[in-house]
Structure 1
Amino acid sequence: MSEDGMLWLTFVLIGALATTLPRASFIVLGERASLPETLLKALRYAPAAALAAIVVPDVVLVAGTVEVFNPKLGAAIAAVLASRLSKNPWLPFVAGMAVLWLLR
């Protein structure tokens, strides 16, 4: 086998092991392996952190730079305020879209 082929085979094997072993360990070990309580508490914030990492750059940046007077930022602030002031799940959507529409 050529050196390039051996290199690609190594990449594929490492990739397969790096993705399969962590996932399979929870299935194979089951209840015998448990995560520490502090790690479990930290993992509760993972979905919110991932969502923030996706949404915040789109809301704050305009053409790659931070712009203070940004319609998306105003709409996001309105949606957050609406969610804090009311238990209605639709109000943040309506408030955010209304502010976005008005500022554009």
Structure 2
Amino acid sequence: MSDLEIWLTIIALACATAATRSSFWVIGEHVSIPTRVQGMLRYAPSCALAAIIGPDLLLDPAGAVDLGLHNYKLIAGVAASGYYLVRKSMLETIIFGMLAYTALRLLLPA
């Protein structure tokens, strides 16, 4: 790609981002979202998070599903999920999960 194509791509993506993000302010109350759709949209953040985190926890570097005890990311993720169920603190859960993963990675053989 030439420099011009790169800059045109960046500008086009910036315009598309600005248009989609500002559409809620521009449209405002003119369009109403049905109650059923609003209810479904409540689950969008958790679905997006699961789509990002799930493959990282379950897949090995080759792309195969790894449910073994040597999958330290999965073990730390399960431990962090259990911690969250007990404590209900997202920041503590993140710290606990990273500490668990680091401890598993450093203390147990690969």
Deviation at 1:66, TM superposition (A): 0.9
SS at match of 1:65: coil
Contact 1:78 1:92 in 2 (8 A): no
Structure 1 residue 67 and structure 2 residue 69: aligned? no
In the aligned structure 2, how far is the partner of 1:81 from the partner of 1:21? 41
Deviation at 1:29, TM superposition (A): 4.1
Unaligned runs of 5+ in 1: 1-14
In the aligned structure 2, how far is the partner of 1:45 from the partner of 1:81? 21
Q: Which moved more, 1:22-31 or 1:75-84?
A: 22-31
Structure 1 residues 46-61: aligned runs within 5 Å:
46-61=44-59
Q: How many residues align?
A: 89
Q: Which residue matches 1:33?
A: 31
Structure (1 or 2) with the larger CA radius of gyration: 1
In the aligned structure 2, how far is the partner of 1:95 from the partner of 1:25? 39
| TM-score scaled by length of structure 2 | 0.64
- Identity within the alignment, %: 39
Amino acid at match of 1:73: L
